[in-house]
Amino acid sequence: MAWFSKGPKDREAAERQRAAATAARERLDKWEAALARGGLPDFVQARLSEAAERRAPWLSTMTAAELLLVRSHGARPLATVFGTCWFQFGASWTRGHAAGWRTALERLVEEARACGANAVVDVKLRTSAAEADSMDYSLVGTAIRFDKLPPSPDPVVATTPALEFVRLLEAGVVPTGIAVGAHYEWLTDNSYSGLAGNVFTGNQPLNTLGQFWEGVRRRAHAELRLDAARQGTGVLAHTHFGQILKREVEKQPDQYLGRHIVVGTVVHTRAGDRVPHGIEPVVDMVDEASPLIRTKAGGGMNYMNDEEEGAI
Residue 301: its pLDDT value, please?
A: 45
Cα–Cα separations (whole angstroms), residue 153 to 14, 58, 112, 178, 304: 46, 21, 9, 17, 33
Pairing of strands 234-247, 255-268: antiparallel
Q: Each residue of 86-134: pLDDT tens digit?
A: 777 766 777 777 788 888 888 899 889 888 889 998 888 887 766 667 7
Where does the pLDDT of residue 277 fall: very low under 50, low under 70, confident under 90, or very high at 90 and above? low
pLDDT at 196 over 60: no
Of 26-35, 80-89, 264-273, the least confident: 26-35
Spell out the domains of the chain, with CATH numbers in brackets: 21-193+208-271+303-309 (3.30.110.70)
Residue 106: its pLDDT value, please?
A: 87
Handedness of CA 290, 293, 295, 297 (dihedral sign): positive
Q: Each residue of 226-270: pLDDT tens digit?
A: 999 888 888 887 778 888 888 877 777 778 888 888 888 888 887
Q: How far apart are CA 127 and CA 307, in angstroms?
A: 10
What percentage of the chain carries pLDDT values higher than 70?
Answer: 71
Cα–Cα separations (whole angstroms), residue 233 to 160, 169, 182, 261, 301: 17, 15, 19, 20, 22
> pTM score, two decimals?
0.68
